[in-house]
Amino acid sequence: MFGLENKVILVTGGNRGIGAAIVAKLEEVGAVVGYTYRSSPGPAGKLPLKADVTDIDDMERVISQVEDELGPIYGVVANAGITQDALLSRMTKAQWDAVIGTNLTGVYNTIRPLAPLMYERKEGAMVFVSSVVGEQGNIGQANYAATKAGLIGMAKTLGLEGARYGVRANVVAPGFTETDMVKAIPDPVKEKILKTIPLRRFATEEEIAWGAAFLLSPTLAGYITGTVLSINGGRHT
């Protein structure tokens, strides 16, 4: 149904959380998955590769290795990301640079060497993992929000640039999701957050993974590009 059987997908930050769920879901629908990690590999995936997305030379190595060992890369999920929260009036330049470098420049470092390969083959799909924070903002996360909003602009632009080559670019924007980070939030705070979500629950990691798999699918989403899939339980304001 997904049309991803035996297609090679690269996932950045695929060792835990939403990234690991995406890797597992893609394998479930028949894809062959290589993924990057910073510290330790995850439980799934055909080819785990330790890499630093802030280093374009490292990402060129990753792309070459995936293509050499698994075959031509059909799709990519740019998921690697970090947070370093502070009010902007107190945020250090180092905090700003670290988040921009990983979350936004890291995607450039991934796509820059990969896009020409996809364009030459005249097929491919890119999915960028943004966030509800990129759509709405959030106190104490100016750096993170800027990167996640930037990914939306990047995907819309790449949707236009890649269209003539048959290469699509889209965004999945998760709302609050049952990751380890959210599970650690104190219960009273969780209750306040849940009141802002019309469906009155958090997303599961698997639900976000289904969204990424859908956007990668040439059969289900072949006419979708430059679009944001917001998986947030109706929390649009």
* pLDDT tens-place values along the chain, 237 residues long: 999 999 999 999 999 999 999 999 999 999 999 999 998 888 878 899 999 999 999 999 999 999 999 999 999 999 999 999 999 999 999 999 999 999 999 999 999 999 999 999 999 999 999 999 999 999 999 999 999 999 999 999 999 999 999 999 999 999 999 988 788 788 998 999 999 999 999 999 999 999 999 999 999 999 999 999 999 999 987
- From the centroid of its chain, how far is CA 154? 13
Annotated catalytic residue 144? yes
Q: What long-range pairs does 94-101 form, CB within 8 A, spacing at least 24? A: 95/143, 96/143, 99/143, 99/144, 99/147, 100/143, 100/146, 100/147, 101/54
46: DSSP letter: S
Catalytic residue among 35, 37, 144, 223: 144
What type of residue sits at position 148? K
The owner of tokens 């690991």 is 20
Asked if 125 and 74 touch (Cβ cutoff 8 Å), the reply is yes
The CATH H-level superfamily of 8-230 is: NAD(P)-binding Rossmann-like Domain (3.40.50.720)
Pairing status of strand 73-78 against strand 228-231: unpaired
Instruction: Select from 115, 139, 118 the least CA-distant residue to 56.
Output: 115
Instruction: Select from 235, 157, 141 the least CA-distant residue to 193.
Output: 235
Residues facing residue 8 across a β-bridge: 32, 73
